[in-house]
Amino acid sequence: MNDAATSASTSDGAAPPRTPGRFITFEGGEGAGKSSRVAELAERLRRRGYEVVVTREPGGSVGAEAVRHVLLGGAAEAFGPLAEALLFAAARADHVDQTIRPALARGAWVICDRFYDSTRVYQGATGDVSADRVALLEEIAVDDVRPDLTVLLDVPVEEGLRRAAARRGDAVADRFEIEDATVHERRRRAFLALARAEPRRFVVVDAATDPATVADAVWYGVCTRLGLAEKD
Ligand code: Z5A
């Protein structure tokens, strides 16, 4: 295990700087562009010669992908938000143990599409699971593996839902996509509140502009926060 997997977070949530492995998470609402920006950032880092592991939640390991299927298909919804939070935590524990911690331990950069801030927002702020319980599950699931940097892609709800619907086409919306626009709006505000509470860990990027502009803003945020030169 390297420093990346063993250091405690600072009081505002940002893990202290360390080399060589880095852990970056992306957060935001539906259609914010997380998957697209994750792929582009990974490519840019690989061109610099870094080993990059791209992963996602729920999922990212064999066990967690099985739980993803249950969660997004809606089979767990009937058991209530706490049961869903437990399943997200179980998936996360496996993902951290099987994928994230080993990658950080060998010095790779890990980029994860959603992580525990999604639980804080979806199951906590808008799911009625208490902050204490969310924090307890988080502690159990991640132990000491916490992001060095979290990129919050902020996009107006209408635009995000429009993009998600356009991409989905005729496919069926998942359990979270079908929720009311007011719930999505509360989630947007909850993510922004998390970013305000931990300004050293979060970088907030306006994701409503064209993809290239957003990708450059993400790159700038990563370089300035994690000590990389912006230009090759
Ligand atoms: N969830 C939870 O409740 N608790 C938890 O702890 C965790 C998750 C970890 C996972 O869904 C669901 O699980 C999620 C929260 C919940 N809720 N939902 N739904 P998912 O993994 O299937 O999907 P997602 O994370 O919500 O992402 P997404 O909606 O699929 O979108 P995205 O990754 O942010 O965006 P994208 O796929 O890159 O882009 C969407 C489309 O927009 C695509 O056609 C792009 O080409 C286009 N796009 C991207 N950027 C732009 C710009 N800048 N302009 C125009 N068009 C763009």
**Which pLDDT value is given to residue 42?**
98
Q: What is the pLDDT of residue 9?
A: 43
With the C-alpha atoms ordered 199, 203, 207, 209, is the resulting torsion angle positive or negative?
positive
Strands (DSSP E) contained in the chain are: 22-27, 52-56, 109-113, 149-154, 202-206
Q: What is the pLDDT of residue 5?
A: 33
What integer pLDDT is reported at residue 12 of this predicted model? 58
211 prior amide bond cis, ω within 30: no
First to last CA, the chain: 30
**Residue 15 pLDDT:** 54
Give the pLDDT of residue 6: 33
The predicted structure's pLDDT at residue 45? 97
Q: Is the torsion defined by CA of 186, 190, 196, 201 positive or negative?
A: negative
Instruction: Provide the pLDDT for residue 20.
Output: 62
Nearest residue (by CA) to ligand 1, atom 42, is 163
| Contact assessment for residue 204 and residue 17, using Cβ atoms and an 8 Å cutoff | no
Nearest to 155 by CA among 25, 24, 27, 42: 27
pTM over 0.95: no
Ranges in the chain, pLDDT < 70: 1-20
The closest of 155, 134, 138, 159 to 147, measured between CA atoms, is 138
Q: Which of 86, 87, 163, 180 to mutate to test the pocket of ligand 1 (most atoms within 8 A of CB)?
A: 163
Give the position, in ligand 1's atom list, of the atom nearest the Cα of 210.
Answer: 53
